Amino acid sequence: MKTFPIGGVHPSDNKKWSKSKAIEVMELPDVVTIPLAQHIGAPATALVKKGDAVKVGDKIAEATGFMSANIHAPISGTVTAVDLQPNGQGLRQMMVTIKREGDEWAEGIDLSTDLVKECNLSSAEIIARIKEAGIVGMGGATFPTHVKLSIPEGKKAEILIINGVECEPYLTSDYRTMLERGEELLVGTSILMKAVSVEKAVIGVENNKPDAIKHLKELAKDYNGIEIKALKTMYPQGGEKQLIAAVTGREVPAPPALPIDVGAVVCNASTAVAVYEAVQKNKPLVQRVVTVTGKSIKDTKNLLTRFGTPVSALIEKCGGLPEGDNRVLNGGPMMGRPMSNLQSPVMKGCSGITVISGAEALRGEPSACIKCAKCIEACPMGLEPYLLAKQSKKKAWGEMEKNDITSCIECGCCQFTCPANIALLDYVRLGKQTVMGIIRARNAKK
């Protein structure tokens, strides 16, 4: 069984807390706040103003330029404000607030659950629909999907890879989606194959989800060119470059090279389901499955949640936060971002809410680096995290750039594996942000 060739770690997967919980529909919130920046790229431009009435699926914000995504109303009601609201990190950003009245969907959206297999649209039409529906990468990176599918001239896609790896510990939203919505996933995959004109697609699933592999293999018999590939469990296999290496054996060169340079297009499993809904049912992206989990959460759940629902409502539904120190993460424990504001909304990239409680919520005291090189061994990008952290501390940004800091995928393997509890990723991430800023400024000058 294959996996990516260098680095990686084995955190205990902790999926047992929520893997057996079927997807439940979360109650509709009375008020939602919808950020205009839910994706990588330029924030969308609001199309509504205070007092406007909206239905579910109405476009409330339009993509600003190519590298951006549309945003649709997740509930029906009245827009009460378009202003700055605190996000999960407590920083203010533009959000649209909608007060709910009933649950009325916009016209033209097919709400039936019947499976529609036939798709006679051309590649350009499919991409246009995906763009219209505001679909972004739902694994967490929130890269606009229509951008990914628009293959630049002179390049050719050879293989489509569907990311069903879900290597992040605790999270089970993709897993439940694969189990419960396998047919839709496969139709979505066929549509994506057509969009990028490839004959072959591989759905990569880690072998810690044997039932999902078996289920999909059973279903895939009816579909041409779709292969289900079991992969050896290893974090961060869900990283785009790692998955390409695991499936095809090809290595994506350092930035600015993209996966398409080795002929691969990668999409998340939940994204493929969203593509199915957008293309076959004309349903924009207004909801997603969010895993609410943690050892201290009484009743863990996989909840189909409308965007804009406050995180606190999801936690409340699952039994509330325990007393004492809690670290609430938007995502899983490895790559999730801690939140200080639980009134913040669920967004397109939020695959889970993980609660880490008690002593585990706090970090250990760091001690000195003894150059054991465990971080180098663990780094899936072949970087030297201890060196980068040291250079970041000394603000040696030029040196960091030479050491390929821009290749870092911020997976956290270095920090996870460090026996001295050194916050390597903190420093490396700071360095990466600073260096990226320097590079952007330099390119803007040119």
385: tokens are: 């995290």
Q: How far is CA 120 from CA 123, 186, 285, in A?
A: 10, 16, 22
Cβ pair 263, 253 in contact under 8 A = no
The distance of closest approach from Cβ of residue 400 to another protein in the complex, given in angstroms and rounded to an integer, is: 14
367 binds another protein (CB under 8 A): no
Task: Report d(CA 438, CA 417) in Å as an integer.
Answer: 29
Identity (one letter) of the amino acid at 213?
Answer: I
**Residue 363 near residue 398, CB atoms below 8 Å:** no
Q: Is 207 in the site for another protein (CB under 8 A)?
A: no
Residue of the chain from 1, 91, 372, 373 that contacts another protein (CB under 8 A): 91
Q: Which is nearer to another protein, 72 or 432 (CB)?
A: 432
| Residue 390 Cβ vs another protein, minimum distance, rounded to whole Å | 13
> With CB under 8 A as the contact rule, which of the stretches 59-67, 88-96, 208-216, 398-406 interacts with another protein?
88-96
CA distances (Å), 243 to each of 165, 167, 266, 379, 431, in order?
8, 11, 8, 15, 25
Stretch of 134-142, 163-171, 289-297, 356-364 contacting another protein, by CB under 8 A: 356-364
Question: What minimum distance in Å lies between the beta carbon of 225 and another protein?
Answer: 43
Binders of another protein among residues 92 to 111 (CB under 8 A) are 92
Query: Which listed range, 1-9, 100-108, 307-315, 337-345, lies at the site for another protein (CB under 8 A)?
Result: 337-345
Piece of the chain touching another protein by CB under 8 A; list 38-46, 65-73, 277-285, 424-432? 424-432
Nearer to another protein among residue 214 and residue 363 (C-beta): 363
Binding footprint of another protein, residue count (CB under 8 A): 19
Shortest reach from residue 75's CB to another protein, in Å = 25
Q: 316, 340, 370, 398: which one contacts another protein (CB under 8 A)?
A: 340
Write down the least CB distance from residue 361 to another protein, Å: 7
Give the nearer residue to another protein in terms of CB position, either 117 or 393.
393
Q: How far is the CB of 365 from another protein (least distance, A)?
A: 11
Q: Is 433 in the site for another protein (CB under 8 A)?
A: yes
Q: Work out whether 338 is an interface residue with another protein (CB under 8 A).
A: yes
Stretch that binds another protein, among 112-120, 136-144, 239-247, 429-437 (CB under 8 A): 429-437
Cβ of residue 342: shortest distance to another protein, in angstroms? Answer: 10
Strand partners, 204: 163, 229
Q: Does 86 bind another protein (CB under 8 A)?
A: yes
Work out how close the CB of 399 gets to another protein at its nearest, in angstroms, rounded to a whole number.
16
Instruction: Classify residue 148 by burial, with Cβ atoms within 10 Å: 0-12, 13-18, 19+.
Output: buried
Residue with Cβ nearer another protein (86 or 225) = 86
Instruction: List the interface residues with another protein, window 300-329 (CB under 8 A).
Output: 325, 327
CB 194 to another protein: min, Å: 41
Counting contacts by CB under 8 A, is residue 427 touching another protein? yes
Q: How far is the CB of 5 from another protein (least distance, A)?
A: 31
27 is a site residue for another protein (CB under 8 A): no
Q: Tell me if 390 contacts another protein by CB under 8 A.
A: no
Closest distance between another protein and the C-beta of residue 341, in Å? 8
- The region of 51-59, 104-112, 291-299, 336-344 touching another protein under the rule CB under 8 A is 336-344
Q: Residue from 50, 363, 394, 440 that binds another protein (CB under 8 A)?
A: 363
Return d(Cα 306, Cα 346) in angstroms, integer: 8
Return residues touching another protein (CB under 8 A): 86, 89-92, 325, 327, 337-338, 340, 361-363, 423, 426-427, 429-430, 433
